């Protein structure tokens, strides 16, 4: 499968790109609003994976070209760029394509990080509202710490929660999640359940900041 | 230490009562608005624990008498009864006593369960606002599934998150949590971080309802 990581030059996109390129036969494309930046990062990721003896080709493109090339497009962009990123790529999306939303809104105060719930109810819902009617959106990959994902020496052993109103799209993203070693996808239901899932991200930061030897935390349901 | 479980006749109070009585030397007191109900449940729990060869005495009392007898009082009551329960017991609380809030607000729609955030910001904050100024409130034990707690044959292997603005009180509750086999307390910071912690409870229900072989889920941070 071809996976585009829009905003793939950031920490989070890097982690997912490296894992898919290293652990799976899927083709990874890095998207950025600046094509040159995407190309540079793609080359960097490719070298990192090839340096571990895994043959892979990672290409860098503009967000629009990356989405056009892909079957599954991951919106690894800040929450306030989810809508305009979808708008920018929407004409290139074809029936059968899937959008994945891993972003969460956060704000910070003196106690710690907090979920900043969008008026629409969740960032996943914002994405679903912005997407063309024929293109399903799946919420996933919220609770995977970027630093840990990007360090291929670290075994993950963590869960990720899936949210979608389209079961076929959810199945596809479940397979993509499962294809990363040490990631177990669990079904969290429809997009209406996204706020509680997106709330885990600030919680993980708070727990990491308040406990010794806890950083880049993930979560496991058991 | 003496622990009172107000609302201790419910599922959640039962689980904590059995675990503390079985795993620790702490004295457990069951509180209820109806003293007779508390006495009957206390006897039932005592027999369950003694049937496993552990000597223990569990007494049942009115909520007010239970809180008066205890060093640490757990408000195992529905969220909408947290304020009036604290009001009912507040005259019996003495300096050095600690209140523990495990409750969370939930509402349900067609997708699943959702966090119903109180106007004050969290149920833990509601408890802190209702408590006398000298009595610290600690949020804890939100993410322990009642059915699993109450089945002493089940090994837990799960985390619970602590929230408090009083570090000494947090330390005391940390010790109480650690004294239950298979529970690891983690610090989630101040009460201002409670909403993200309380949001885990509806999420655990949603995940349990959407996955085979997942029920009475807990969570582990790793």
Enter the ipTM: 0.94
pLDDT, residue B52, reads 97
Contact residues, chain B, for A187 at CB < 8 Å? 207, 210-211
For chain B, say whether A218 makes contact (Cβ under 8 Å).
yes
Q: Domains plus CATH for chain A? A: 2-210 (3.40.50.720)
Q: What percent of chain B has pLDDT over 90?
A: 95
Burial of A104 (0-12, 13-18, 19+ CB in 10 A): buried
pLDDT given at position B214: 87
Which residues in chain A land under pLDDT 50? Answer: none
Residues of B in contact with A189 (CB under 8 A): 111-112, 206, 209-210
Pairing of strands A219-221, B219-221: antiparallel
Q: What are phi and psi of A98, to 5 degrees?
A: -130, 140
Pairwise CA distance, residues A107 & A206, whole Å: 12
pLDDT of residue B161: 98
- Give yes or no for a contact between A158 and A132, defined as CB atoms under 8 angstroms apart: no
Asked if A76 and A102 touch (Cβ cutoff 8 Å), the reply is: yes
* B132/B94 Cα distance (integer angstroms): 10
Chain B nearest C-alpha distance from A207 (Å): 5
Q: Token pair for residue B77? A: 């009551």
Q: Is the pLDDT of residue B110 over 90?
A: yes
**Which tokens is A208 given?**
């990491």
Of A114, A202, A221, which is closest to B217 when you measure between CB atoms? A221
C-alpha torsion sign, points A76, A78, A79, A80? negative
Give B143-175 pLDDT, tens digit per residue.
888 899 999 999 999 999 999 999 999 999 999
Q: CA angle, A136 as apex, A132 and A141 as ends, to 5°?
A: 125
Rounded Cα distance, B185 and B201, in Å: 16
Structure tokens at A34: 């600046």
Calculated CA dihedral for residues A120, B110, A163, B157, nearest 10 degrees: 120
The pLDDT of residue A33 is 94
Among the partner-chain residues A109, A192, A220, the one whose CB lies closest to the CB of B109 is A192
- Using a CB–CB cutoff of 8 Å, tell me whether A213 touches chain B: no
Q: Tell whether B42 lies on the interface with A, counting CB pairs under 8 A.
A: no
What is residue B141's predicted lDDT score, i.e. its pLDDT? 97
Q: Within an 8 Å CB–CB cutoff, is residue B178 touching chain A? A: no
CA B222, distance to chain mean position in Å, is 23
In contact, A173 and B155? CB cutoff 8 Å? no
Look at A111 and B217 and tell me if their CB atoms are within 8 Å. Answer: no
CA-based nearest residue in chain B for residue A112? B193
Cα A138 from Cα A172, distance rounded (Å) = 10
B203/A196 CB distance under 8 A: yes
Pairing type for strands B183-187 and B113-115 reads: unpaired
User: b/e for A171-185, b at 16 or more Cβ within 10 A?
Assistant: ebbbebbebbeebeb
A177 touches chain B (CB under 8 A): no
Does residue B129 carry a pLDDT above 90?
A: yes
Closest Cβ–Cβ partner in B188, B193, B211 for A186? B211
Q: Is B209 part of the contact surface with chain A (CB cutoff 8 Å)?
A: yes
User: In chain B, what residues touch A220 (CB-CB under 8 Å)?
Assistant: 219-222
B196–A209: do the CB atoms touch at under 8 Å? no
Q: Is-contact B158 B184, C-beta < 8 A?
A: yes
Task: Using DSSP, state whether A88 is helix, strand or coil.
Answer: helix
Contact list in B for residue A198 (CB cut-off 8 A) is: none
pLDDT score at A214:
87
How many pairs of residues across A and B have Cβ atoms under 8 Å apart?
A: 125
Instruction: Please give the Cα distance from A115 to A123 (Å, whole number).
Output: 11
Predicted TM-score of the model (pTM): 0.95
pLDDT (average), residues B17-32: 98
Question: Which residue from A190, A197, A127 is spatially nearest to A161, judged by alpha carbons?
Answer: A197
Residue-averaged pLDDT of chain B: 97
Answer whether A132's CB lies under 8 Å from B216's CB: no
Q: Is A203 exposed, middle or buried (0-12, 13-18, 19+ CB in 10 A)?
A: buried
Which of B130, B105, B125 is closest to B115 using CA atoms? B105
In sequence order, the 6+-apart residues with CB closer than 8 A to the CB of B48 are B18, B152
- Dist. CA B122–CA B105, nearest whole Å: 8
pLDDT for residue B143:
87
Ramachandran bin of B191, using left for φ above 0, alpha for ψ from -120 to 50, beta for the remaining angles: alpha
Residues of B in contact with A217 (CB under 8 A): 221-222
> pLDDT tens for residues B188-221?
999 999 999 999 999 999 999 999 988 899 999 9
């Amino acid at each position: 499968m071809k996976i585009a990581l829009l905003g793939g030059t950031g920490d989070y996109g890097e982690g997912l790109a490296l894992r898919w390129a290293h652990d799976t036969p899927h083709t990874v494309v890095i998207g950025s609003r600046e094509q040159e930046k995407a190309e540079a990062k793609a080359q960097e990721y490719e070298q990192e994976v090839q340096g571990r003896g895994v043959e892979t080709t990672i290409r860098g493109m503009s967000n629009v070209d990356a989405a056009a090339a892909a079957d599954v497009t991951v919106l690894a962009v800040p929450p306030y760029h989810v809508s305009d990123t979808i708008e920018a790529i929407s004409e290139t999306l074809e029936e059968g394509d899937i959008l994945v939303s891993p972003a969460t809104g956060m704000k910070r105060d003196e106690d710690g990080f907090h979920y900043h719930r969008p008026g629409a109810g969740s960032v996943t819902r914002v994405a679903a509202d912005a997407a063309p009617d024929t293109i399903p959106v799946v919420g996933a990959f919220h609770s995977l710490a970027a630093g840990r994902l990007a360090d291929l020496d670290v075994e993950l052993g963590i869960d990720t929660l899936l949210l979608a109103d389209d079961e076929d799209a959810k199945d596809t993203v479940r397979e993509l999640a499962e294809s990363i070693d040490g990631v177990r996808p669990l079904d969290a239901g429809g997009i209406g359940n996204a706020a509680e899932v997106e709330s885990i991200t600030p919680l993980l930061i708070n727990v990491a900041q308040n406990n010794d030897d806890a950083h880049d935390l993930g979560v496991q349901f058991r």
